[in-house]
Amino acid sequence: MSDNHHSQPQPKIKEVGFVVNENKAGAVQLASEMHGALERQGVSVRECHDSEIDHCFGRGDRLDLIFSFGGDGTILRTARVAAPLGIPIVGINLGKVGFLTELVAEQAVASLPRFVAGDYWIEQRLMLQGELIRGGKTINTFHAFNDIVANRGSLSRVVECILSVDGAVLTTYVADGIIFATPTGSTAYCLAAGGPIVTPDSRAITVIPIAPYLALVRSLVLPEQAILELQITKATDALITVDGQQDIQMQIGDTMRVQASPITALMARIQPRNYFAATLVDRLRLRG
């Protein structure tokens, strides 16, 4: 059994958080139904709307779980708040594919007694830490659940950059961008760009260029100990995009350092431990 699966029973839950994406059909209604069901079982609920998540939960809240009502985008936003607090996430899919979600809406209410009783397991997911370095100083630090992408921004020019691994120059890319992905993110933008699928319990960082010109190195899978540095040598309007949701401006001469984050995302699961292999092909079909 993998080290990043906790096998012991979990404590019975007493207080949970809800993150509700009001833009997803049925999310508000389902959250209301589950709120009532949990309170009838003695569990208190703190509800937060998706757009307010950065200000909803803190270290003093002592939440046992956070339920995310939406799609994968909602989980990505939830993870960046829940992971630093060490709170496991239960994703309820009200989107299309739901690669990250645990339950479909029709299962959610019926599954609650298992979570209340502590009959679930915890899966640990690697996150990435990125730093933007300018003039030798770190001016921004950020964390990603899926991926960190250095890309060309809104203009049509390519990004020219140098990739170093553990201090050694590996290659130069001329491309539309470079993706640094977690195993979780390997089924997202990374896959669309031709990257490999990496199982979620792996501890690896995948690097793949987007539409590279004459690149000898098309994709890399590196151990979690690797420290990656990407220096921009020629670009205008270059951007760092974090999980497809947060943009940070880059300048010529900037370096982006990427490595495994000290923060781990926790997912609460009641599916069998082989769920990823068992459902992968079906979920990939949904993407089409």
How far is Cα 285 from Cα 113, in angstroms, rounded to an integer?
31
Q: Along the chain (288 residues), what's the average pLDDT of each consecutive run of 10 residues?
A: 54 92 93 96 92 84 93 90 95 80 90 94 96 96 96 78 96 93 94 92 95 85 97 82 94 94 95 81 68
- Predicted pLDDT of residue 8: 63
For the entire predicted model, the pTM comes to 0.90
- Predicted pLDDT of residue 225: 97
Domain layout of the chain by residue ranges = 5-120+270-287, 127-262
Q: How far is CA 221 from CA 176, 190, 208, in A?
A: 20, 12, 9
Active site residues: 72
- Predicted pLDDT of residue 3: 43
How far is Cα 154 from Cα 175, in angstroms, rounded to an integer?
14
Q: Residue 223: enclosing H or E segment and its boundaries?
A: strand 220-223
- Predicted pLDDT of residue 31: 96
Superfamily of domain 5-120+270-287: Probable inorganic polyphosphate/atp-NAD kinase; domain 1 (3.40.50.10330)
Which CATH topology does 127-262 take?
A: Tumour Suppressor Smad4 (2.60.200)
SS3 141: strand
- Predicted pLDDT of residue 153: 73
- Predicted pLDDT of residue 138: 97
By CB neighbour count within 10 A (0-12 exposed, 13-18 middle, 19+ buried), where does 133 fall? middle
How far is Cα 87 from Cα 78, in angstroms, rounded to an integer?
10
- Predicted pLDDT of residue 84: 94
C-alpha dihedral (40, 44, 50, 55), degrees to nearest 10: 170
